[in-house]
């Protein structure tokens, strides 16, 4: 007998919703379709072997694979396809896939008719533990990742762990990168849990942060969810998205820990903690060969968190927090010490 589905609430007042986690969670999809919706636009990719039955008339819209699908051109194609089919503002978009699909479909739902409902069916580990939760949507520009986007909360999220059975090894590792991040955001028990509980614990941590700071307000709490992402996003962009997101985040976590140590915020033991956790997930801890420090610095200056010079999420005496105005020289020196040219 399979384990029961865990329901994790995301408490946001009138925009609250539930995340269903566990084997067989897909059966809850019809109850997440908003009342009054008569059509569902299902956005997915060709290689995703997950069929959905939302309980209303639906049509599948296939988008390209990879981060390059997250573009304004793809948003334009989807919006035109929705309009030609007759999708109305009372209908719903259902994203079926990983973080690329949930980011892209969520943003398209946010701008089509100035906003229609979206439901996420997360089919990768990364999407289940992070990307599908919390309402951040976006697409990429040549100048950087997720530079165009919107906060648009879903009507609900399905994290059916059965859909992970065919996940390629690198996609598992990518999800593990985000899971390693949550270890340092209060999720130390994640590494001792089974899969269903791992996903639910990550969702619960993110839910609590989003409920406290939905739109990255002055408290900076939501920005802590970007731990490891400042360098991580720069590495993805510089490498043409050859690195998976979670792999880049893992390297970003190690860089952030070493930077915090150089700045006197943490000791060497905390850096070793990061090394142990990141390595335990089979993730990279070193920079890819041949990366250019100047290019990475330019990309990090464009990071969405940047408010006063370089901005990083760093460990410290008060825990993980946003730090503005980080010295560029210290960043470049560390990049070069880690092998950047």
Please list the active-site residues. 114, 136, 178, 206, 216, 222, 226, 229, 233, 245
Do 259 and 334 touch, CB atoms closer than 8 A? yes
Using alpha carbons only, how large is the chain's radius of gyration in Å? 19
User: Which residue do the tokens 């969702």 mark?
Assistant: 203
Distance CA(323)–CA(302), nearest Å, equals 15
CA atoms within 13 A on the CB side of 41: 29
Distance CA(146)–CA(233), nearest Å, equals 9
140-145: long-range pairs with CB below 8 Å, 24+: 140/67, 140/68, 140/70, 140/71, 140/237, 143/302, 144/233, 144/234, 144/237, 144/299, 144/302, 144/303, 145/67, 145/233, 145/236, 145/237
Spatial strand order in the sheet of 39-45: 6-10, 17-21, 156-159, 117-122, 92-97, 39-45, 57-63
């Amino acid at each position: 007998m399979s384990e029961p589905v865990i329901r994790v609430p995301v408490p946001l007042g009138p925009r609250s919703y539930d995340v269903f986690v566990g084997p067989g969670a897909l059966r809850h999809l019809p109850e997440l379709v908003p009342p009054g919706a008569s059509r569902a636009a299902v956005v997915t990719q060709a290689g995703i072997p997950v069929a959905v039955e939302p309980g209303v008339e639906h049509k599948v819209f296939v988008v390209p694979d990879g981060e390059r699908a997250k573009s304004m051109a793809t948003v334009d194609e989807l919006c035109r396809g929705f309009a030609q089919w007759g999708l109305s503002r009372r209908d719903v978009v259902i994203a079926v896939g990983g973080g690329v699909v949930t980011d892209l479909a969520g943003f398209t739902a946010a701008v089509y008719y100035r906003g229609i409902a979206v439901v996420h069916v997360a089919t990768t580990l990364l999407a289940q533990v992070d990307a599908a939760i919390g309402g951040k949507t976006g697409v990429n520009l040549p100048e950087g990742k997720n530079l165009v986007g919107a906060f648009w909360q879903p009507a609900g999220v399905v994290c059916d762990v059965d859909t992970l059975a065919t996940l390629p090894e690198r996609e598992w590792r990518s999800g593990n990168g985000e899971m390693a991040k949550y270890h340092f955001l209060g999720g130390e028990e994640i590494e001792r849990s089974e899969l269903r509980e791992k996903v639910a614990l990550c969702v619960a941590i993110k839910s609590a942060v989003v409920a406290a700071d939905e739109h990255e307000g002055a408290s900076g709490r939501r920005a802590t969810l970007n731990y490891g992402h400042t360098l991580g996003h720069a590495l993805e962009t510089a490498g043409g998205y050859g690195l998976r997101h979670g792999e880049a985040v893992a390297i970003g976590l190690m860089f952030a820990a070493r930077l915090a140590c150089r700045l006197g915020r943490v000791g060497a033991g905390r850096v070793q903690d990061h090394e142990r956790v990141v390595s335990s997930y089979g993730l990279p801890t070193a920079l890819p060969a041949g990366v250019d420090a100047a290019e990475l610095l330019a990309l990090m200056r464009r990071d969405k968190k940047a408010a006063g010079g370089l901005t990083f999420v760093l460990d410290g005496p008060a825990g993980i927090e946003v730090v503005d105005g980080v010295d560029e020289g210290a960043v470049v020196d560390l990049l070069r010490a880690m092998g950047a040219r």
